[in-house]
Amino acid sequence: MGSLVEAGACVGVSQQTIRSSVNRLVADGWLSTESMGRRSICRFSESGMKRYLMASKRIYQNFNTDWAGEWHMVVANNWMIDPDRYSEQVRDILWSGFGKVSENVFIRPKLAEKGLCCNWELPEDMPESMTCFTGIKKQCIPDTAIKAMIQRAWDLETVNSRYQFFIDRYKGLLDTLLKAPAVSGVQAFSIRSLMFHDFRRIRLIDPVLPAALHTSKWNGDQAFSISQRLYDLLAHPSEQYIMEVMQGPEGRLPRVKAWFFDRFGGLAKV
């Protein structure tokens, strides 16, 4: 907890806000906490880790190519589910990139990387109350009907405008960092944290549709490129800061694992 408070201070977040946020994440099932001497240790809960891994694929990877025209469709037996539990399941379905076309029907393009079925990335108990299909649009259905369905399922105009705001905010910073001398560890950590916080919030409402389904200029690819390049520039100095300053259950934090460098399609290993 002390390291989280210190990290928050780097980007102007108060200790009270950090502690309140952790308590809320514990209440929502994302984190668990335990006392270890005078320290409070925070960890992902089992369900929190599953949600994180599900979301991280959408944040760090750009699945918008190699589409064969197939769709995933989930139909929920919502009449058989407790309303509160159903609300939780809908949240997790939307979290994994599906769009809602009616009260109990959700769709998403099927990409090659996603495998044959979508159940592996949804909660384990969901198949008992959900049915998952894959399908291809028949030629007798006009494209206008598909476009209307996409507009109903996702607010792409808002997502695109938020990507444009991100580009306007961070492109100049990227250009400056490419020309500037190396930044300090705490500066790199602060910039990386703020940038990624902004990018993550957009990414989790972006269905990451294949390019063929976008009817206008899409800003997501440029925003992804800016994020990747900034993250790559800042990864090494910010990780050095994390290892030198922050504490885990066994003391100083270890170096990142090899999978860390797979983010954004591959980071430079320094």
Tens-digit pLDDT string for the chain (270 aa): 889 999 999 999 999 999 999 999 999 889 999 888 888 888 999 888 888 887 887 888 876 666 778 888 888 877 767 777 778 778 878 877 889 998 889 998 886 554 445 544 555 545 567 787 888 877 666 778 888 888 889 999 999 999 999 999 999 999 999 998 788 999 999 999 999 999 999 998 888 888 878 877 899 999 999 999 999 999 999 999 998 888 888 788 888 888 888 888 888 876
Q: Rounded to an integer, what distance in angstroms lies between the CA atom of residue 24 and that of residue 21?
A: 5
* Amino acid code (one letter) for 177: L
Token pair listed for 110:
């099927």
Q: What are phi and psi of 72, to 5 degrees?
A: -95, 140
Find tokens 């990624």 and name the residue. Answer: 196
**Which of 50, 150, 156 has the alpha carbon at shortest distance from 106?**
150
If asked whether residues 27 and 79 sit together in one domain, one would say no
Look at the pTM and tell me if it is higher than 0.75: yes
Among the three residues 96, 126, 153, which one is the final residue of a domain in this structure? 153
Question: What pLDDT, on the 0 to 100 scale, is given for residue 21?
Answer: 94
**pLDDT at residue 115, as a whole number:** 46
Predicted pLDDT at 116: 43
Same domain, 31 and 54: no
Beta strands in the chain (DSSP E): 31-36, 39-44, 67-76, 99-102, 105-111, 130-136, 247-248, 251-252
191 and 217 inside one domain: yes
Q: Which domain, by its residues, includes 123? A: 50-153
Same domain as 249, residue 187 = yes
Q: Are 5 and 18 in contact (CB under 8 A)?
A: yes
Kindly state whether residue 29 falls inside one of the protein's structural domains.
yes
34 in the same domain as 23 = yes
Q: 270 in a domain, yes or no?
A: no
**Separation CA 200–CA 156 (nearest Å):** 16
Q: What is the pLDDT of residue 118?
A: 55
Tell me if 108 sits within 8 A of 150, measured CB to CB: no
- Same domain (yes/no): 144, 160: no
Domain count, the chain: 3
Question: pLDDT at position 38, please?
Answer: 81
For residue 91, give Cα distances in angstroms to 76, 101, 134: 13, 14, 21
For residue 17, being part of any structural domain is answered with yes
Instruction: Specify the residue for token string 């399908």.
Output: 135
Q: Pull the structure tokens for residue 130.
A: 């959900």
The residue from 130, 153, 176 where one domain ends is: 153
Amino acid identity of 80?
A: M
> 248 and 161 in one domain?
yes
Measured between alpha carbons, how far apart are the two ends of the chain, in Å? 29
Distance CA 229, CA 25 (A): 30
Q: What residues contact residue 265 under an 8 Å CB cut-off, 6+ apart? A: 61, 62, 228
Tokens 């200790």 correspond to what residue?
Answer: 15
**234 and 248 both lie in a single domain:** yes
Residue type, 31: L
33 and 103 belong to one structural domain: no
User: What separation in angstroms does the CA of 22 have from each of 10, 197, 218, 247, 249?
Assistant: 17, 16, 35, 17, 17
